[in-house]
Structure 1
Amino acid sequence: MNAHRLVALLLLLTVTLSAFSSQPGNPDAVLGKWLSARKKNQVQIYKQGNKYYGKLVWMAEPNDPLTNKPKVDSQNPDEKLRNRPLMNLPILSNLVYKGGNVWAEGQIYNPEDGKTYNCDVTLKDENSMDFHGYILGMPFLGKTKTWTRVK
């Protein structure tokens, strides 16, 4: 995976995450809408059971510039999924709260390259988080971007 694609993935993730509770040590503090580092996407983080997930809920450019139709998951490796809309697409999955404002063991799907990456999140304060995406299960093979809460 080249650096450009990883950066694109992290940007998409940054947009995907938003509002959360401000209490330190609160497992649900990541809940809400988050704006990606490049400010091109927002992700709504929600909880199912004891895990956290996120879906794409806003894009600066929601339509394909050539067709002016809503963007679809055209890079998905599964051809059957390539026509599904990007808006409301689940892209973040299986984050587990580890304590100390850290959520780990998650995966993020990047519709720009059709690949899924490992990820973890560290809440810096109630309105910002560090989102770390990486490959091959090796955190040192990745990048960290700061996402901000959407109020």
Structure 2
Amino acid sequence: MRRSIFTLAALALALPGVFAGPADPRGHYLTASGNLEVEVAPCGEALCGIVSKVIANHSMSRPGEAMQAADDRPALGMKILLDFKPDGDNAGTWQGRIYNRENGKTYDCRMTLDEAGNLQLRAYVGLPLFGKTQVWQRLTVAAP
């Protein structure tokens, strides 16, 4: 417990202002498909999203069908948002990667919060201009 408090304090000092105010993405979210609840929390010097609850198994690419995962790993506990760090050029924007369980691929991703506190994730290959945005509904806010 003591070690985790010091680790969190060191992280807060290393990334000044990152975890404060309305642009703080830490908390629990419901994915756009409604399949998963994901907790966004610090992991090392970045933020990650780990599946905290499996709700359903709907395909995001084939409406009305069950999702066919590309790997055999269980979804619960899986890290699907990886290495999100503040984008120094764009305030309120985080850069990282997102894992797609249906095809087993990882994509570059930009993360922002909308006015309601929902997470907007724009996954892309190459240029963000050609990406696709998912909106994840905020369920809880992380305690400071």
Please say whether Structure 1 and Structure 2 have the same fold, judged by a TM-score greater than 0.5.
yes
> CA offsets per residue over residues 28-59 of structure 1, 9 Å max, x none?
x1111111123222111111232111111222
Q: 1:100 aligns with which of 91, 105, 110?
A: 91
**Is the Cα contact below 8 Å between 2:54 and 2:75 reproduced in 1?**
no
**Is the Cα contact below 8 Å between 1:22 and 1:126 reproduced in 2?**
no
CA–CA distance in structure 2, aligned partners of residues 102 and 91 of structure 1: 18
The residue that corresponds to 2:64 in the other structure is none
**Is the Cα contact below 8 Å between 2:34 and 2:56 reproduced in 1?**
no
SS at match of 2:128: coil
Q: How does 1:41-56 map to 2 (within 5 A)?
A: 41-56=36-51
Q: 1:144 aligns with which of 133, 136, 144?
A: 133
How much does 1:114 deviate?
0.8
Unaligned runs of 5+ in 2: 1-18, 58-67
Q: How does 1:107-146 map to 2 (within 5 A)?
A: 107-125=97-115, 127-135=117-125, 137-146=126-135
Change over 3 Å in CA distance of 1:22–1:124 after alignment to 2: farther
**1:39 lines up with 2:37 in the alignment:** no
SS at match of 2:77: coil
Residue-pair matches, total: 110
CA–CA distance in structure 1, aligned partners of residues 109 and 54 of structure 2: 21
Unaligned runs of 5+ in 1: 1-20, 63-72, 77-81
Structure of higher CA gyration radius = 2
CA–CA distance in structure 2, aligned partners of residues 97 and 142 of structure 1: 19
TM-score by length of 1: 0.63
The residue that corresponds to 2:16 in the other structure is none
How large is the RMSD of aligned CA atoms in angstroms?
2.3
